[in-house]
Structure 1
Amino acid sequence: MEDPEASRVNRTSKSSHMDSLGLTHSTLVYDRNFVCSPSGVLMFGEIVCGLLVWTLLGGTEYVHVPALAWVMFVSLVCWVLTICRLLLYLTTAHIKMPQVPWTVLGLWFNSSATVLYITAAVINAASMTHAIRGRYYYTSWMASTVCAFLLVFCYAAHAYVSYRSWRSESREA
């Protein structure tokens, strides 16, 4: 049987360790306001279009066109990182980590994703010459190209929203 006093001391030491890291014990909360915000809407669009880009390419023999490996890399990395960011914002976990400059990080990520997706979309469009019109690969590659250009728009709009958020935050300081 465990000593209740030892258990209380153990919890207290854990608490002081978490406090020294700047973390709190509060639970994560679903933020339904984020879903309707411009950032939330853009993130959902980025996730849906990003999923379409890599699944449309992944369902073909894209490995025969080496340039499409770059498109797959960009789409998968950006898709996974966007899902991680969405989960952080939906659960308000970002509030629990105030030492991270979230607005700067968002601006940097969305701007970088815009540039990466511009290259991926252009490469995807240029690779259409390797597809035969009317075949499954052509249709999938064309659809993934359209989605990649939509993602350029989504990430650029999100970079603008992040920039506005950063500017308003820096004016308050």
Structure 2
Amino acid sequence: MAANSAQPMGSLPSGLGICTTAPDIFYLPELVFGGLVWILVASTHVQSPNPLGWVMFVSVFCFVMTFLWLIVFAAGGHKNSSGWAAADFAYHGLAAFFYLSAAVILAYITLLLKSPIILFRIYQIDIAAVVFAYLATLLYFIHAILSAIRWKNF
């Protein structure tokens, strides 16, 4: 019989446990997809009246906060407190909402800016950014749901 390395839902993991437990296993994909949104939006030509500043704010804010959240959980700074479980749910719910709003804005702007004048390569980069923004939204949403379940079982 294999050893069970999974944490019970009523406790917060620390150390390498964050790489093996739900919802904490989503930290790395959230960082990757959020970073991709950040990089792809930053690599295109942004016109001045364009609301992509919100998209950049969301992607940079969530990238930094998720990285800090990952460090706190890996270092065990939460001390297995139910307050941290509630904060984990609140942060990931807020991040999912922010990313959804950013993804909708990004998709709308991408559709508006589709024209024969704009290079097709830039349009492809914008489409990739939209896809990754929606994937990041999905990851943060799943993380929020699983964090809520863990918080309720704490």
- Shorter chain as normaliser: what TM range? 0.7 to 0.9
One of 6, 30, 33 as aligned partner of 2:17: 33
Matched, 1:87 2:74: no
Shift of 1:38: 1.7
Structure 1 or 2, whichever has the larger Rg, is 1
The normalised TM-score by structure 1 is 0.74
- Kindly, what percent of the aligned residue pairs are identical? 28
Q: Which residue of structure 1 lines up, in the alignment, with residue 113 of structure 2?
A: 130
Correspondence 1:35-54 to 2 at 5 A: 35-54=19-38
Shift of 1:49: 0.3
Shift of 1:65: 5.2
Shift of 1:64: 3.8
Deviations 1:110-156 (A, max 9, x none): 11111111110000000112144652221111111000100111011
The normalised TM-score by structure 2 is 0.82
CA distance in structure 2 between the partners assigned to 1:130 and 1:153 by the alignment: 25
Contact 1:47 1:82 (8 Å CA) reproduced: yes
Contact 1:35 1:90 (8 Å CA) reproduced: no
Q: Which residue of structure 2 lines up, in the alignment, with residue 104 of structure 1?
A: 86
Secondary structure class of the residue paired with 1:62: coil
Contact 1:65 1:130 (8 Å CA) reproduced: no
CA distance in structure 1 between the partners assigned to 2:105 and 2:20 by the alignment: 33
CA RMSD, aligned part only? 1.8
More helix by share: 1
CA distance in structure 2 between the partners assigned to 1:104 and 1:132 by the alignment: 46
Q: Which residue of structure 1 lines up, in the alignment, with residue 146 of structure 2?
A: 161
Contact 2:24 2:143 (8 Å CA) reproduced: no
**Code of the aligned partner of 1:101:** G
